[in-house]
Protein backbone atom coordinates (compact mmCIF):
# COMPACT_ATOMS: atom_id res chain seq x y z
CA UNK A 1 0.00 0.00 0.00
CA UNK A 2 1.46 3.41 -0.94
CA UNK A 3 2.28 5.59 2.02
CA UNK A 4 2.36 9.36 2.09
CA UNK A 5 5.57 10.85 3.44
CA UNK A 6 3.68 14.00 4.44
CA UNK A 7 1.89 11.89 7.07
CA UNK A 8 5.05 10.15 8.29
CA UNK A 9 6.70 11.10 11.58
CA UNK A 10 10.14 10.34 10.08
CA UNK A 11 9.82 13.21 7.57
CA UNK A 12 11.40 16.43 8.83
CA UNK A 13 9.86 19.79 7.90
CA UNK A 14 12.48 22.10 6.41
CA UNK A 15 11.62 25.38 4.65
CA UNK A 16 8.30 24.05 3.39
CA UNK A 17 9.84 20.79 2.22
CA UNK A 18 10.08 17.35 3.70
CA UNK A 19 13.32 15.56 4.32
CA UNK A 20 13.26 11.85 5.06
CA UNK A 21 15.54 11.30 8.05
CA UNK A 22 15.87 7.62 7.16
CA UNK A 23 16.63 7.82 3.44
CA UNK A 24 17.97 11.40 3.31
CA UNK A 25 16.11 12.87 0.44
CA UNK A 26 14.13 16.05 0.01
CA UNK A 27 10.58 16.16 -1.22
CA UNK A 28 7.90 18.75 -1.64
CA UNK A 29 4.62 17.73 -0.04
CA UNK A 30 2.79 18.25 -3.35
CA UNK A 31 4.81 15.96 -5.61
CA UNK A 32 3.59 12.46 -6.51
CA UNK A 33 6.88 11.05 -5.28
CA UNK A 34 5.64 11.63 -1.76
CA UNK A 35 3.57 8.49 -2.33
CA UNK A 36 5.72 5.40 -2.20
CA UNK A 37 5.94 1.97 -0.72
CA UNK A 38 7.80 2.28 2.54
CA UNK A 39 8.08 -0.20 5.35
CA UNK A 40 9.39 2.60 7.59
CA UNK A 41 6.20 4.64 7.41
CA UNK A 42 5.44 5.78 10.97
CA UNK A 43 2.30 7.64 11.98
CA UNK A 44 2.82 10.75 14.10
CA UNK A 45 3.39 9.95 17.77
CA UNK A 46 3.22 12.20 20.80
CA UNK A 47 4.61 12.05 24.29
CA UNK A 48 3.09 14.22 27.01
CA UNK A 49 1.19 16.16 24.34
CA UNK A 50 4.35 16.97 22.34
CA UNK A 51 5.01 15.59 18.90
CA UNK A 52 8.14 13.44 18.88
CA UNK A 53 11.01 14.57 16.64
CA UNK A 54 11.67 12.79 13.30
CA UNK A 55 14.81 11.28 14.85
CA UNK A 56 12.77 9.88 17.75
CA UNK A 57 10.16 8.48 15.37
CA UNK A 58 12.96 6.78 13.42
CA UNK A 59 14.58 5.36 16.57
CA UNK A 60 11.27 3.90 17.77
CA UNK A 61 10.55 2.45 14.33
CA UNK A 62 13.98 0.82 14.13
CA UNK A 63 13.52 -0.68 17.59
CA UNK A 64 10.09 -1.97 16.58
CA UNK A 65 11.48 -3.52 13.40
CA UNK A 66 14.38 -5.13 15.22
CA UNK A 67 11.96 -6.59 17.73
CA UNK A 68 10.01 -8.10 14.82
CA UNK A 69 13.19 -9.48 13.29
CA UNK A 70 12.98 -7.33 10.18
CA UNK A 71 15.97 -7.90 7.91
CA UNK A 72 15.41 -5.26 5.27
CA UNK A 73 17.91 -3.46 3.03
CA UNK A 74 20.48 -1.41 4.93
CB-nearer residue toward ligand SF4: 43 or 48:
43
Note the residue count of the chain: 74
Dmax over CA atoms of the chain, in Å, equals 36
Of the candidate residues 13, 28, 41, 46, the single one contacting ligand SF4 (CB under 6 A): 41
Of the candidate residues 1, 2, 11, 49, the single one contacting ligand SF4 (CB under 6 A): 11
Q: Does 44 bind ligand SF4 (CB under 6 A)?
A: no
Nearest distance, CB of residue 48 and ligand SF4, angstroms: 23
Which letter does DSSP use for residue 23 in this model? T
Burial class (CB in 10 A: 0-12, 13-18, 19+), 6: middle
Judge whether 11 and 19 are in contact, CB under 8 Å: yes
Enumerate binding residues for ligand SF4 (CB under 6 A). Answer: 3, 5, 8, 10-11, 20, 22-23, 36, 38, 40-41
Amino acid sequence: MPTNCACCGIAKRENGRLRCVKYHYLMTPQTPETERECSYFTPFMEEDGELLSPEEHLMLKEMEMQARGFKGPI
